A = this chain, B = another copy of it.
């Protein structure tokens, strides 16, 4: 099963900016960026410190629809990643300058991914 994602050239700058203009979504992106290349993918539940389950579903859909994140469906879980390469290609330097500007200390901590046996 695959969720709808925009193609790289369908990613719109105003949409990306307005989507990242929301503090909850910016925090999600900051967490994803902070773990890039690291300890595995993140699922939606790990972001529960940032909002209710229903509300997260809403914000994560916004991020996906804007082309900021990719959502992989695995069983009952959705694994989230930043669309780093697509964003870098479409808007060079944008993601890095945004992530660098986030006051990481000011955003809620989230649950570490639980390594399963």
Contact = CB atoms under 8 A, between A and B. Distances in A.
Interface of A: 13-23, 26, 90-94, 96-98, 100-103
Nearest to A103: B13
Nearest to A25: B14
Contacts of A97: 91-94, 97
Contact of A98 (B17, B22, B26): B17
A21 B17 contact: yes
A39 B93 CA distance: 28
Contact of A96 (B17, B18, B20, B93): B93
Nearest to A94: B97
Nearest to A26: B14
Contacts of A22: 14, 18
Contacts of A101: 13, 90-91, 94
A51 B26 CA distance: 29
7 shortest interchain CB distances as A-B pairs: A18-B21, A17-B21, A93-B97, A94-B97, A91-B101, A13-B101, A17-B20
